[in-house]
Amino acid sequence: MFGGLSKTLDANEEIQKIVEQVKDGVDKKADKCFLNLQAIQYRFQNVDGKLYYIKVRTGDDNYVHLKVLQKPSDKPGNLELMAIQNNHKRPDPIEPF
């Protein structure tokens, strides 16, 4: 069933694992190597799979927002980093992009 975008939720272990799995793509799209990516908050939408918008802490007061598609499969490689937004701060809301 497809639906609207969820409210903002605090990140949990599952969301952190998603971030860790797409880290190489984040580094490539941002054109820098992040030492630590910490998932802070997220929103999701049920599509053909699940679409995540994730706020990630990359440093002191630096954040990026990730758009990640989780395809409907339990097989490895079912995550696709679709986009990244740089230069966010902690209070910035997570909005679709």
Q: What is the pLDDT along the chain (97 residues), one digit of tens a residue?
A: 467 999 999 999 999 999 999 999 999 999 999 999 999 999 999 998 899 999 999 988 899 999 999 998 766 678 999 999 999 999 999 999 9
pLDDT of residue 73: 76
Quote the pTM value: 0.92
The domain limits of the chain are: 9-88
How many C-beta atoms surround the C-beta of residue 79 within 10 A? 20
Q: Note whether 6 and 43 are within 8 A (CB).
A: yes
CATH number belonging to the domain at 9-88, selected among 3.10.450, 2.60.40, 3.30.310, 1.20.120: 3.10.450
Residue 30 tokens read as 């941002």
47 close to 72: Cβ distance less than 8 angstroms: no
